[in-house]
Structure 1
Amino acid sequence: MTRHPSAKAMDKGGWRTLPAEGLRGERPEWPLTEPTEREDEVWHELWTKPQAVVWEDRVQALEVALFVRTLAEAAAGQQPSSPTPSRNGSDHVRAPLQQPRPGRVGLPLGQSPERRVVLSG
């Protein structure tokens, strides 16, 4: 893969000028499961943007695809699928977050479980 000429300026700590015409050549293949029609439209549109040159250099097709999928799901009014351990995200994967027990604190780095600190009420 040939890097865009302005990438050399970035290697030297300078600014990189992105081409107004965007990515030259073909966009990467969609890396996820079969895209919806809307995902395919957004995927194609994003890879024509100047920023796509940077995504290509950094091999970020997967990250762009995940953004496209999340954007399409949100636009359709769906809860974006997310494997993150957030309150909302944990409910749909049937893995609720455990509530901390009152009066307990975590272990400071380097302490063994025998030296656990318990605070009383």
Structure 2
Amino acid sequence: MTAIDPTAERNARAHQYSQEGRGDLAIPLFEEVLADRVRVLGTDHPETLASRNNLAGAYWSAGRVGEAIPLFEEALADRVRVLGPDHPDTLASRNGLAGAYYSAGRLGEAIPLF
């Protein structure tokens, strides 16, 4: 964000909760961070794109696949447009979307993305 990122601590805490399997604590923080980054940085900033993907991953990990898929779809489309189709972050969004589709039983959509 800026030299002093006011969202960094909340984002780091959300990642920690997510790694501990505490989606109940991670998801609200990821939601706040995404909203703040959209407001301050705009929708196309790399940190905003990362936040959208992080929230999608947290939803997926918490079994909230129906909420994860649209966010992964948006993250992938935006990252392709902003970063290009072969950027590592774009590929991470592609992989996340494929996994979420797979979890939802949408194999026809998942397989081409893997």
Instruction: Determine if the TM-score, normalized by the shorter chain, exceeds 0.5.
Output: no
What is the TM-score when the length of structure 1 is the normalising length? 0.27
Give the TM-score, by structure 2 length.
0.28
Structure having the higher Rg = 1
- The structure in which a higher percent of residues are helix is 2
